Amino acid sequence: MTSSDPVQDLSRFTMPPGFRGRSASVVQVWWLVQATLFALSPQVCNGWRRWILRCFGAKVGREVVVRPSARITYPWRVSIGDYAWVGDDVVLYSLGPIRIGAHAVISQKSYLCAGTHRYDDPSFPIMGAAIDIGDEAWIAADVFIAPGITVGRGAVVGARSSVFSDLPERMVCHGHPARPIRPRPMAIAGGAPRSE
């Protein structure tokens, strides 16, 4: 390769066959439904939004809360466990599978990015990479989760952190990049936290 060769030539980009997981028409119908019936539904209509997501192939558990302003690229690649919360303006960029565990919280404006491109190939090929958010984890406000990341059960990721490597169970993590800081305190009867 010489210095005159392109490092990125988007005229050579092609979408891999079947990459979206559904036909182009289903994708367009979902985006239309998301922009109207989903996004314009009243805040309290969580059952309605769960039903819509299930109609489009998402696996959605009992009593899941998904705010109407959340954006989900391909719901058929999303799994949300029982009693989990997905907050306002959350983006689930589900080019790859995204699993959100039971009782997990994805707080407002967080971005789970399960897709990327090969920057070492001038045709800039696209690919998905799974994200797994463990049961009882809390992703606080405005957190970025990179493709291929696992956040362990019960972990806490502090607000505005950027997550580029897996995070362990039951640890409070934050930073750029996010790193484990200390164990998450465990609650005792009556709700008061305790450390182990």
- Measured between alpha carbons, how far is 149 from 21 in angstroms, rounded to an integer? 21
Candidate CATH numbers 3.90.1170.30, 3.40.50.300, 2.160.10.10, 3.40.50.720; the one for domain 22-179: 2.160.10.10
Tell me if 98 sits within 8 A of 73, measured CB to CB: no
pLDDT in tens, 96-144: 999 999 999 999 999 999 999 999 999 999 999 999 999 999 999 999 9
- Measured between alpha carbons, how far is 119 from 30 in angstroms, rounded to an integer? 29
Category of 53 on φ-ψ map: left (φ > 0), alpha (ψ -120 to 50) or beta: alpha
pLDDT band at 186 (very low <50, low <70, confident <90, very high): confident
- Measured between alpha carbons, how far is 126 from 2 in angstroms, rounded to an integer? 24
| pTM of the complete model | 0.92
pLDDT in tens, 39-87: 999 999 999 999 999 999 999 999 999 999 999 999 999 999 999 999 9
Which residues, 6 or more positions from 25, have their beta carbon under 8 angstroms from its beta carbon? none
